[in-house]
Amino acid sequence: MAESGGRRIGVAVDFSECSKKALSWAIDNVVRDGDHLILITIAHDMNYEEGEMQLWETVGSPFIPLSEFSDAAVLKKYAVKPDAETLDIVNTAARKKTVTVVMKIYWGDPREKICAAAEQIPLSSLVMGNRGLGGLKRMIMGSVSNHVVNNVVCPVTVVKAHT
């Protein structure tokens, strides 16, 4: 992404209700005119040739402009399916706030890849949702937001799913 001023605000999205809430919160409270809004998503499968897969596993996909990730045919090759509500949120933000919206896709463990994205891009700040797992589920499954807060290189805001 070219250096053209503005901050790089990352939002971790998995197209769940809690990530849409975090995205809306970031747009309402953090994103300003001239910023870059970078949606960071972690995909589960990678169906590319071995050479591309090895490269993208390390550095993630290229930055995908809003016009392209709004096109279902384009994102099919990345195995990512943003929902209509998420697309509406970011299209509205792009129109109203004069922000550049891009998506970057990573493959692997969300805990590690979100932290890597914050450093590689690099992000000015990161916003992410929290599913609100109870203590036992969090202990068994691990908390992505807890790991990121404790290991990422930029300021993080966690937006709770149930407030």
Arithmetic mean of pLDDT, 129-143: 58
Q: Which of 21-25, 32-36, 73-77, 152-156 has the lowest mean pLDDT?
A: 73-77
Q: What is the pTM of this model?
A: 0.85
* Percent of the residues in the chain that have a pLDDT greater than 90, as a whole number: 54
Q: Give dist(CA 21, CA 161) in Å, integer.
A: 7
CATH architecture of the domain with residue range 8-160: 3-Layer(aba) Sandwich (3.40)
- CA 12 from centre of chain: 3
pLDDT tens digits for 68-105?
Answer: 988 877 777 777 888 899 999 999 999 999 899 999 99
Other CB atoms within 10 A of residue 2 CB = 7
108-126 pLDDT, tens per residue? 889 999 999 999 999 999 9
Closest Cα to residue 125, out of 133, 117, 137?
Answer: 117
pLDDT at site 141: 42
Residue 140 has pLDDT above 50, yes or no: no
- Domain ranges for the chain: 8-160
Asked if 41 and 138 count as a contact pair (C-beta separation under 8 A), the reply is no
